[in-house]
Structure 1
Amino acid sequence: MKIAILGYSGSGKSTLAAYLGKQYGISYLHLDQVQFTDNWQTRPETVAKEIVEDFMGKPDWIIDGNYTRYYQAERLKQADQIVLLLFSRYAALWRIFKRTVRYHGKSRPDMAANSPEHFSWEFFWWIIWKGRTSNVRKHYQTIQNQYPQKVIVIKNQQQLNAFYRRPKNSD
């Protein structure tokens, strides 16, 4: 089984990937860990692409994150299931606030080592505006239109909770 998880920042992509990985016994890859190395340094793109390409060579995988440059089109095509987490900007902001409080000064499990959680106004602006432009929204709609048989859209916590509760064999 191959699962691609995409969506807005703060919607729970990495948490869902880890959960599904444990449920199905499948390796998962957080693209934020590919993008960033220690202390929020950006990994060279050729190295990052190689990591993703190698991971996609596995018979089963779960990959969370958007990053179009990391073979997003190929990930979507190969995926048996695509989960789009499209929480409202305010719900995502609240989730990120809770995440920041929980991990403040520590590295999250889905991030590179020595990359302590922090919050910036630039990230706030990304959550509220830049990460939700009409082009981004159109991109998610295009994915839904292109792969209607394998896309699951989750827009709020109640839907996410229901997704977590569904039987393991309901795929």
Structure 2
Amino acid sequence: MKIVIIGYSGSGKSTLAKHLAGYYKIPVLFLDKVNFLPNWVERDRHDGRLIVNEFMKNDSWVIDGNYKDFYQSERLEQADKIIFMNFPRRVCIYRAFKRYFKYKNTTREDMASGCVEKIDLEFMWWILYKGRTKEKQNHYKEIEEDFKNKIVVLRNKKEVDLFLGDYLIEV
């Protein structure tokens, strides 16, 4: 089984990825962990692509994150299920603050070593605006259209809970 989880920052992609990987006992790759080196330094794109390419050779996996440069088209094609976390801005910003206070002065397991949890104006602007430009929204719409037979769009926690209840029984 191959599962791709995409969506907006703060929507719960990593949490869902951990849950599904644990349930199915399959490896998980957090693309934020691939993209960043310690202290929020961006990894060389070529090196990141090598990591993702190698991981995708597994028979089963969960991959959490957007990152077009990291074989997004191939990930979407190979996936048995695509989950789009399409939560509203207000929920994502609330969750980002909640996450910050939970992990303040530490590094989450889904982040690169040395990337201490932070919330700053740049990240808030990303959640509220830059990560939701018309171009990005249209890209998600294209994914929904191109992969309508295997995409699930989740818009709130209730839908996630219902999906997990149905999906984990169904598969």
Would you say same fold, with TM above 0.5? Answer: yes
Structure 1 residue 165, shift from structure 2 partner = 2.7
Partner of 2:97: 97
Which moves more between the two structures, 54-63 or 161-170?
A: 161-170
SS at match of 2:170: coil
SS of residue in 2 equivalent to 1:166: helix
**TM-score, length basis structure 1:** 0.97
Match of 1:12 in 2: 12
Give, in whole Å, the separation in 2 of the partners of 1:105 and 1:60.
Answer: 33
Alignment of 1:10-159 (within 5 A): 10-159=10-159
- Residue identity opposite 1:126 in structure 2: W
What amino acid is the match of 2:8?
Y
Q: Find the aligned partners of 1:34 and 1:169 in 2 and give their Cα distance.
A: 31
1:40 shift after superposition: 1.1
Aligned counterparts of 1:13 and 1:143: Cα–Cα separation in 2 = 17
C-alpha separation in 1, matches of 2:33 and 2:51: 10
Cα distance in 1 for residues equivalent to 2:164 and 2:146: 25
CA distance in 2, matches of 1:169, 1:13: 20
Percent identity between the two aligned chains: 43
Per the TM alignment, residue 38 of structure 1 is displaced from its structure 2 partner at its CA by 1.3
In structure 1, stretches of 5+ residues that fail to align are none
Size of the aligned set, in residue pairs, is: 171
**C-alpha root-mean-square deviation of aligned residues, in Å?**
1.0
Q: State the alpha-carbon separation in 1 of the partners of residues 165 and 109 from structure 2.
A: 23
Unaligned runs of 5+ residues in structure 2 are none
What TM-score do you get using the length of structure 2 for normalisation? 0.97
Find the aligned partners of 2:94 and 2:162 in 1 and give their Cα distance. Answer: 20
The one-character-per-residue Cα deviations of 1:118-155 (angstroms, maximum 9, x if unpaired) are 11101111100010011111111111100111000001
| Cα deviations by residue, 1:31-69 (Å, 9 ceiling, x for unpaired) | 000001112111111111000000011111110100000
